[in-house]
């Protein structure tokens, strides 16, 4: 099941109250619910976080490496790291860090987690993954 914005709860067959109070949902960022059963899956959580990020945002650093399946030492408590060229909304959830930096052209296209989403009545793709190193492209 795809993550649900609280504002779109009725369209998806839920009430905002149910999304906020049910033990079957968790909230990786304010205003977005995802199934608790998928909370340990990084790609699912990134799809949920992406609903609150600007269209130009990309997942980067350790988040990108984890999504790509690269070997990493055992690390606990690493936040989801995203990057955007412009001002990003403040997230009042621990575990999400949004950097503001220059994203090289072409790095916002291909994605391990990409999927179509609706925002303000127009279609856009979810934030994609910025390569951790230039040698991977």
Structure confidence by residue, pLDDT tens digits, 63-113: 989 998 899 988 888 899 988 876 666 665 778 888 887 777 766 544 445
CB 57, CB 63: distance < 8 Å: no
User: 44: helix, coil or strand?
Assistant: helix
pLDDT above 80 for 133: no
Q: What is the mean pLDDT of residues 112-117?
A: 42
Q: What is the mean pLDDT of residues 121-131?
A: 42
Q: What pairing do the DSSP bridges indicate for beta strands 128-129 and 58-59?
A: parallel
d(CA 108, CA 13): 32
For 19-74, how does the pLDDT look when each residue is reduced to its tens digit (9 = 90+)? 999 999 999 998 999 999 999 999 999 999 999 888 778 888 899 899 988 999 88
Q: Is the C-alpha dihedral spanning 46, 50, 53, 55 positive or negative?
A: positive
Give the containing element (helix H, strand E) for 81.
strand 80-84
In 85-121 the beta strands, taken as DSSP E runs, fall at: 96-100, 116-119
Q: Which two tokens stand for residue 69?
A: 């399946």
At residue 5 the predicted structure's pLDDT band, cuts being 50, 70 and 90, is very high
* Cα–Cα distance for residue pair 129/137, rounded to 1 Å: 12
Structure-token pair, residue 11 = 């369209």
């Amino acid at each position: 099941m795809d993550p649900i914005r609280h504002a779109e709860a009725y369209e998806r067959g839920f009430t905002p109250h149910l999304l906020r109070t049910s033990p079957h949902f968790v909230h990786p960022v304010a205003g977005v619910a995802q199934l608790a059963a998928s909370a340990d899956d990084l790609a699912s959580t990134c799809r949920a976080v992406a609903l609150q990020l600007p269209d130009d945002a990309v997942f980067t650093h350790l988040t990108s490496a984890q999504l790509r399946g690269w070997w990493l030492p055992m690390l606990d408590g690493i936040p989801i790291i995203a990057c955007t060229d412009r001002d990003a909304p403040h997230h009042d959830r621990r575990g999400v860090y949004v950097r503001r930096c220059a994203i090289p052209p072409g790095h916002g296209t291909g994605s391990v987690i990409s999927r179509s989403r609706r925002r303000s009545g127009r279609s856009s793709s979810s934030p994609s993954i910025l390569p951790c190193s230039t040698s991977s492209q």
